[in-house]
Amino acid sequence: MKTITSIISIFALALSMHAKEITKDVTVTQATVYLKGAKVTASTPITLPKGKNYVRLENLPRDMNPNTISINLPKTVSLMSVTPELQTLKPFNASAEELRMQEEIKKNSRKIQLIQVQIQMLNNEKAKKVKKHDKKISKKLKKTKTKNVAQLDKLTDHYDKKLLATENALTLLNEQHKELQNRNKQLQEQINQGKPTSNKVLGYDVVLELENSAEQTIDLTISYLVDNAGWVPNYDIRAKTDEKLVEITYKGRIYQNTGQEWNNIKLSVSSYKPNYNTQRPVLNPLYASQLIQTPHHDGYTFTASGSVQVTALGVGAFNLYQSAPMTVSENLYRPDQLDKHLAEPATWNAVTDSPLSVIYELHKNHTIPSKMNPQHIFLDSKEVSAEYVYHAVPSISSEVHLLAKVKNWNELNLMGGEAFLFLGDNFVGKTVINSKYTQDELPIALGTDERIIVRRTRMSDKPENKNKQQGETELHAYEITYKNNMNFDVILEILDQIPLSLTQRIKILEAKYEDGELSESTGALLWSRELPAGKSGQVVFSYKVVYEKGVLVQFKRG
């Protein structure tokens, strides 16, 4: 009895292992396009017999990441395994018609070879006749010693008739040769049309092992990530100065070159960029120890121990750290080098609708063909309040720029991208939205206006050398004049600066700047003026530079 049971079990196992494979193509129904890459969802209806089934989903994209495959099935079907397989060229079985054409090509090729032999023989025969004709003519002329034109013409006509027969035969053979070659070419083109192209881009097949308790028809859904897709955000920014508004139109350029057609699918775009390496950074201890410096003629050598390190060139050395021996190798930096090796502080992007990204779901279905040329789509449009001011930095440029200052711009979910600027209906230029801008107000430059004039001049001053033993003192004083040549009132911002000292040997003292606002950390100096139509004004500021005797002072922007 046990033997019979074992045989039945083995037979059932063999039947399950050789279950008929169901082959299906899938249709893309949905895609979420990231800044780089996309999540694609495709589906297909399928009828599953009772028991174990093997389903092969064919022609999935070559750039699909097989590790991201997700299968969605009803609860009545169990997923046992998922096996991605790279496609290979399948053997091609020729049809009876193709075999007939191949046989005709072979027969024609043999005829072509025979004709080529005949042509070669006739050409050789023709060459011999011409040579024999020339030899007889020469011999005849030597015997007669006189030119008998009638005899020569008769002899020439005789050989011309023989050559003409040879030429006619050659012409017929060449025509047959050409006809057979053209026929073979036509046959080969017909054969090639019925064959799969050898340069076809092969993708993935995904084999699913499924098990269900009863025969049923289901909708099988597969999703996966692809690399050859993405989108680039861009904007139209339209300034409405009369209404103190800014209209921002969100747009995107979407591309996909996956080899799959996205026909009439539900489409979303996201600011997310998939990152397959999600390991968090690990912060190791940072040690501070005494720096002992021993100067030498040419340079220094750094060590982590207390001993003196001498270079191969005989250059002296000093100890970088004087501390207890370390059990592990550490990166060693001088204090002035330390900040260069530390990571930059984190910056926050715009507020997002999901934990990691902003997602725009498009209301209408879209068709995105598989090609590299991007397709432009409209995403959203918003109107936000803005303050319009004229902004000048006269120490750098005499131009005055119109700015639209958008408040609470981080609530707009803007991503970094190119923006086209319009003042009313007039195009004024392009700019770039920086999503990592950290201020509450986002200034958008809308171009220059020559009707606002701002000039900066240095007032005559002299060095103050009251006590040469204590050092040198210089007075720097500047006058900034401005005028509104328009017929309406404006707000004018003037930005200048007080220099910052990087050494104790140079001091910046007695800064005077009327009612300007000074940033102690950057030295930025800002005046804001309500400037009526046709009116003018001025601001004056000054500061003293005090430095030790013998010190050369230079100024640079960093």
Q: Are residues 380 and 271 in the same domain?
A: yes
- Which of residues 467 and 241 earns the better pLDDT score? 241
Q: Could you report the per-residue pLDDT of 299-309, keeping only the tens digit for each?
A: 444 433 333 33
pLDDT at 103 over 90: no
The answer to whether residue 163 is domain-embedded is yes
Q: Are residues 131 and 39 in the same domain?
A: no
Q: Could you report the per-residue pLDDT of 437-476, keeping only the tens digit for each?
A: 777 788 888 888 899 999 999 986 555 555 555 578 888 8
The answer to whether residue 305 is domain-embedded is no
Buried b (16+ CB within 10 A) or exposed e, 477-495: ebebebbbeeeeebebbbe
The answer to whether residue 3 is domain-embedded is no
Q: Could you report the per-residue pLDDT of 168-215, keeping only the tens digit for each?
A: 888 888 999 899 999 888 888 888 876 655 455 678 999 999 998 889
Q: Are residues 368 and 441 in the same domain?
A: yes
CB 387 within 8 A of CB 229: no
The answer to whether residue 168 is domain-embedded is yes
Domain boundary among 398, 418, 448: 448
Across 16-28, average pLDDT: 78
Q: Are residues 42 and 178 in the same domain?
A: no
Q: Are residues 423 and 476 in the same domain?
A: no
Band of pLDDT at residue 15, cut at 50, 70 and 90: very low
Q: Are residues 259 and 363 in the same domain?
A: yes
From CA 515, how far away is CA 278, in angstroms rounded? 51
From CA 114, how far away is CA 3, in angstroms rounded? 72
Residue 189: per-residue pLDDT? 86
The answer to whether residue 364 is domain-embedded is yes
Domain boundary among 387, 420, 448: 448
Residue 346: per-residue pLDDT? 29
Query: What is the total count of domains within the chain?
Result: 4
From CA 523, how far away is CA 130, in angstroms rounded? 104
Q: Are residues 213 and 238 in the same domain?
A: no
Q: What is the widest separation between alpha-carbon atoms in the chain?
A: 134
Q: How many other C-beta atoms lie within 10 A of the C-beta of residue 30?
A: 17
From CA 286, how far away is CA 303, in angstroms rounded? 17
Domain encompassing residue 65: 13-90+200-227
Q: Are residues 404 and 509 in the same domain?
A: no
Contacts of 82 (CB under 8 A, 6+ apart): 69, 71, 206, 207, 208, 209
Domain boundary among 394, 419, 448: 448
Contacts of 177 (CB under 8 A, 6+ apart): 112, 115, 116, 119
- Which of residues 131 and 98 earns the better pLDDT score? 98
The answer to whether residue 323 is domain-embedded is no
Q: Are residues 219 and 237 in the same domain?
A: no
Residue 467: per-residue pLDDT? 53
Q: Which of 113-117, 191-195, 517-521 has the lowest mean pLDDT?
A: 191-195
Residue 320: per-residue pLDDT? 29
Share of the chain above pLDDT 70, in %: 73
Using the structure block, give the residue that is written with the tokens 């502080």: 345
Listed residue (545, 387, 400) closest to 481, CA to CA: 400
pLDDT at 546 over 60: yes
Q: Are residues 429 and 495 in the same domain?
A: no
Q: Are residues 360 and 440 in the same domain?
A: yes
Q: Are residues 363 and 408 in the same domain?
A: yes
510: left (phi over 0), alpha (psi -120 to 50) or beta: left
CATH number at residue 518: 2.60.40
Q: Indicate the pTM of the whole model.
A: 0.58
Q: How many other C-beta atoms lie within 10 A of the C-beta of residue 256?
A: 26
The answer to whether residue 64 is domain-embedded is yes
The answer to whether residue 335 is domain-embedded is no
Q: Could you report the per-residue pLDDT of 390-414, keeping only the tens digit for each?
A: 999 998 888 999 999 988 887 787 8
